[in-house]
Amino acid sequence: MARFLKNRSAALGQVPGEPVFIGVKKMEEVSIHVIDYTKTDLKEWDPSDIAETAYLKDTPTISWINVNGVHDIEKIKAIADGFGLHPLVTEDVVNTGQQAKMEEFDDHLFFVIKMMHYDVKKNRLLSEQLSIILAGNFLITFQERPGDVFEPVRKRIRKNIGRIRNSGTDYLAYSLLDSVVDNYFFLIERIGEQIEDLENGLSNNPGKHTLEKINEYKREMNYLRKSIRPAREFIFILSRLESDHIKKQTRPFLKDLLDITSQAVEAVDTYRIMLSDQLEIYNSTISNRLNEIMKVLTIFSAIFIPLTFIAGIYGTNFDYLPELHFKYSYLIFWVVLLVIAGIMLRFFRRKKWL
């Protein structure tokens, strides 16, 4: 399955603005989880009907509606209609090939960012699209599948830790984005440790497995970079956005998040450079090893050239070779060969060719 680009064939010939699911179906049924809170009260439930959540847009409480699964077009459209979302938002939510971006509408903001995780079985990075709708008193998140990096945020809401329960939906959105970016760093550190371990043993005995690992890590870092760099640009725009949906108190946190995201981008670039250097070291090591082998073979060839010449003379079919009738000619023949080989070996050592 391609990771860098989604198959957009389903969208060919469709009416512009009409939502078409683009991506891979990662769960059977769409599920919804709601956390509704104030400074003092908290409610949390899993509604079975999408219509049960629409009233939350008119309540004074802060509501976080998390939707798992974006493949069911009708249900996504029902959520969008219930909360008065722009039709282009619905189209982007079900198109999981979006890059990180932000769009501003009259009564809500729309964010897209990639949430990543490491698949241990496949030994590779995988990503899913996270769509966030930020409005006055509600925030909707759309994920492709259950499971995310937001459990620490839920824990802080449930236990009333930190600023979330005392702040608005803009700070909640910041907290979710912060969890996504923190997970970027976790993944970078995880792969970075493997890259550094590979570098430590690179000059000792690199082989085909080493080259495969270098190429594998380069591929994963490129994939990670594809998600993080657009995220930095999106957060840069968000941190400077003049909008009623972003309170003045939240802006410093967004600027700090921008700095953290920039550090993540720099870390990815550093490891990519390191992998390129490792590839050069690998090629140099293999080349040096080949040169050593060729040097030994060349020296042995040089030694055997005069020996072969002498053996060739005495291996001819002439009737008159005076030395052949001497009693000790065979012994002398071997002595001459060994002396010549010894002289050449000594000469090569003096020249430091051996």
pLDDT, tens digit (0-9, with 9 covering 90-100), for 253-271: 999 999 999 999 999 999 9
Does some domain include residue 150? yes
pLDDT, tens digit (0-9, with 9 covering 90-100), for 221-238: 999 999 999 999 999 999
Report which residue type is found at 306.
Answer: P
Q: What is the pLDDT of residue 328?
A: 77
Mean pLDDT of 35-46: 93
Does some domain include residue 6? no
Choosing from 285, 306, 330, the residue where a domain stops is 285
Q: Is 296 found in the same domain as 268?
A: no
Q: Is 220 found in the same domain as 311?
A: no
Q: What is the DSSP letter of 240?
A: T
Inter-helix orientation angle 169-200/251-313, to 10°: 20
Residue 294's domain is classified under what CATH number?
1.20.58.340
Does some domain include residue 7? no
pTM over 0.85? The answer is: no
- Tell me the pLDDT band of 292, cut-offs 50, 70 and 90: confident
Choosing from 229, 255, 285, the residue where a domain stops is 285
For the sheet containing 138-143, what is the strand order?
42-45, 31-37, 62-68, 138-143, 124-134, 109-119, 101-104
Q: Is 217 found in the same domain as 164?
A: yes
Q: Is 209 found in the same domain as 304?
A: no
Q: Is 224 found in the same domain as 129?
A: yes
Q: Is 295 found in the same domain as 264?
A: no
Does some domain include residue 107? yes
The two three-digit tokens of residue 138, written as one number: 């509600």
- Tell me the pLDDT band of 184, cut-offs 50, 70 and 90: very high
Phi-psi map region of 152: left, alpha, beta (phi>0 left; psi -120 to 50 alpha): alpha
Does some domain include residue 201? yes
Higher pLDDT, 326 or 110: 110
Q: Is 182 found in the same domain as 142?
A: yes
Segments in 100-168 forming alpha helices (H) = 151-158
Residue 321 belongs to what domain range?
A: 287-350
Q: Could you give the percent of the chain with pLDDT greater than 70? A: 92
How many domains are contained in the chain?
2
Q: Is 340 found in the same domain as 270?
A: no
What is the C-alpha separation between 139 and 108, in angstroms, rounded?
9
Q: Is 212 found in the same domain as 246?
A: yes
Residue 189's domain is classified under what CATH number?
3.30.460.20
What is the C-alpha separation between 268 and 188, in angstroms, rounded?
7
Q: Is 340 found in the same domain as 272?
A: no
Q: Is the pLDDT of residue 203 over 80?
A: no
Report which residue type is found at 68.
Answer: N
What is the C-alpha separation between 73 and 71, in angstroms, rounded?
6
Q: Is the pLDDT of residue 6 over 70?
A: no
Q: Is the pLDDT of residue 182 over 90?
A: yes
Does some domain include residue 243? yes
| Strand-pair partners of 32 | 67
13: number of Cβ within 10 Å:
6
What is the C-alpha separation between 57 and 167, in angstroms, rounded?
17
Mean pLDDT of the chain: 86
The two three-digit tokens of residue 20, written as one number: 């078409």
What is the C-alpha separation between 296 and 330, in angstroms, rounded?
29
Which of helix, strand or coil describes residue 152?
A: helix
**How far is the first Cα of the chain from the last one, in angstroms, to the nearest whole number?**
52
